[in-house]
């Protein structure tokens, strides 16, 4: 599979205090594809995701070694402005967390904090991204309502719209459907498939079937180590490592 690299992870190791959570990960993340990170719980999948947008900085006692290159810049370089990195990446968390404001303000939050004040442009941005997240028709008459009043599936789509509104290049999603019912999950998955051509999407999941449905590229982490990675077809048909075979067959979970 020929691809362009969007993110190049080079010998990334992350330590929480003295515990090594990610062990020397090196991987090339392809551009404009859906990449699924799979593996059992507690294996560092979320840590890897959150190191891409440097959210792990928020924790006390974190140490990082290695480099992560995005568009030619090492995101851990101390000279880089963190908010600039984060703007390139949109994060969708496991539990939908709408900001404590109206639906409109939620989507407009991103553009506003980056300085956009023009009401007309904001209106257009809000409508556009709510459409991209397949939520516009359901909320267009109640944009002023508090975001917490909509259903949980709608909240997750709202968070997706919010994340897209800052025009990132990369979407990061941490088990985005685990809190949702099957119908809402399907809608979110459909959205990801629809956004594939415009964004590089990295999704963490522990649902193997979801990975089979969505992935173009798969990364398998086990206990902080990178076991195997590759294009989805090869990964699922012909896994090379013993551990991968066991995981995909459900022997270990």
Partner 1 sequence: MTVGTHGRRTGSSVECATEKCSNMKSRRQLKSIIAGRIMLCVTIGCGLLVFVMIVGLYQRSRPILATKPLGELLFSSSWRPLQGEFGFLPFILGSLWVTILALLIAVPLCLLTSVYLSEYAHRYVRECTKPLIDLLAGIPSVVYGVWGVLVIVPLIKDRIAPFFGTYSAGYSVLAGGIVLAIMVIPVITHVSAEVFRSVPDDVREASLSLGATKWQTTKHVVLRKGMPGVIAAVVLGLSRAFGETMAVLMVAGNVAKSPTSIFDPAYPLPALIANNYGEMLSVPLYDSALLFGCLVLLIVVLSFNAAARVVLLRVQRRIQ
Partner 2 sequence: MDKRRVEEGLFKGLMILSTVLILSVLGLMLGTVVLKGLPAMNIAMITQAPKGGYYLGKEGGILNAIIGSLYLAGGASFLSILISVPVVLYLNVFGEKQTRLISFTRFSLDVLWGVPSIVYGAFGFTILITLGLRASLLGGIITVGLLIMPIMSRGMDEVVRMVPRELLEASYALGATKLETALKVVVRQALPGILTAVLIAFGRGIGDAASVIFTTGFSDYVPRSLFRPAATLPLAIFFQLGTPFPEVQDRAYASAFVLTVIILLISIICRVLTHRFTRHVMR
Binding residues for partner 2, per CB under 8 A? Answer: 81, 83, 113
Regarding 200 and contact with partner 1 (CB under 8 A), the answer is no
Regarding 63 and contact with partner 1 (CB under 8 A), the answer is no
Q: Could you tell me if 199 and 179 are in contact, meaning their C-beta atoms sit under 8 angstroms apart?
A: no
Regarding 86 and contact with partner 1 (CB under 8 A), the answer is yes
Residue 2 touches which member of partner 1, partner 2, none, C-beta under 5-8 Å by kind: none
**Cα distance between residue 240 and residue 222, in whole Å:** 15
Number of H helices, E strands in the chain: 10, 10
Q: Which spans in the chain are helix H?
A: 45-52, 82-88, 103-113, 119-132, 136-139, 152-164, 182-195, 208-214, 232-237, 242-249
Residue numbers 118-137 binding partner 1 by CB under 8 A: none
Residues listed for the chain:
253
Backbone φ and ψ of 218, nearest 5°: -125, 140
Select the residue interacting with partner 1 from 30, 39, 44, 163 (CB under 8 A): 163
User: Closer to partner 2 at the Cβ: 113 or 152?
Assistant: 113
Stretch that binds partner 1, among 34-42, 106-114, 122-130, 202-210 (CB under 8 A): 106-114
Q: Which residues bind partner 1 (CB under 8 A)?
A: 53, 55, 58, 60, 83-84, 86-87, 89-91, 93, 95, 97, 99-101, 109-110, 113-114, 159, 162-163, 166, 172
């Amino acid at each position: 599979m020929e691809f362009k690299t969007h993110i190049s992870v080079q010998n990334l190791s992350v330590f929480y205090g003295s515990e090594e959570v990610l062990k020397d990960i090196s991987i090339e993340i392809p551009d404009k594809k859906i990449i699924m990170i799979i593996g059992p719980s507690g294996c560092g999948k979320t840590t890897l995701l959150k190191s891409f947008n440097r959210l792990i900085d928020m924790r006390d006692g974190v140490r990082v070694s290695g480099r992560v290159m995005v568009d030619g810049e090492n995101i851990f370089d101390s000279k880089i402005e963190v908010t600039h990195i984060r703007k390139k990446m949109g994060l969708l968390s496991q539990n939908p967390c709408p900001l404590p404001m109206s639906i409109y303000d939620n989507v407009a939050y991103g553009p506003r904090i980056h300085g956009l004040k023009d009401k007309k442009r904001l209106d257009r941005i809000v409508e556009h991204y709510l459409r991209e997240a397949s939520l516009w028709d359901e909320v267009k008459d109640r944009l002023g309502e508090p975001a917490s009043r909509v259903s949980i599936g709608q909240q997750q789509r709202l968070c997706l719209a919010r994340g897209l509104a800052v025009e990132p290049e990369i979407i990061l999603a941490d088990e985005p459907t685990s809190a949702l019912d099957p119908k809402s999950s399907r809608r979110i998955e459909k959205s990801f498939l629809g956004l594939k051509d415009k964004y590089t999407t990295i999704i963490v999941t522990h649902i193997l079937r979801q990975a089979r449905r969505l992935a173009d590229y798969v990364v398998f982490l086990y206990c902080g180590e990178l076991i195997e990675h590759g294009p989805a077809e090869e990964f699922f048909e012909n896994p090379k490592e013993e551990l991968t075979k066991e995981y995909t067959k459900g022997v270990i979970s």
